[in-house]
Amino acid sequence: MASFTLTPETAEKVKLKFLRKYRDLAQQDLPFKPGMEEALVTQLMELVKRDRRYVEFTIQKALADPDGNRL
């Protein structure tokens, strides 16, 4: 289970930060529905080829400052 919860607004900000960090994801669709954090983590793990810990850490880091410009 994911160690965070997202709202549609924070999910969009996290998505933008991931797309900024991983430019090759620009062509990928990263759909999100509330309550589907686990599916998002799994999809990101496959797309960026990193483990769960890294993906969840990166999302939590993005959530720490959702309006900031840093990931």
Q: Is 41 helix (H, G, I), strand (E, B) or coil?
A: helix
The structure tokens listed for 4 are: 């965070």
pLDDT digits (tens, 9 = 90+) for 29-50: 778 888 889 998 999 999 999 9
pLDDT, mean over the chain: 85
* pLDDT (0 to 100) of residue 13: 87
Count CB-CB contacts under 10 A for residue 55: 21
26, 16 in Cβ contact below 8 A?
A: no
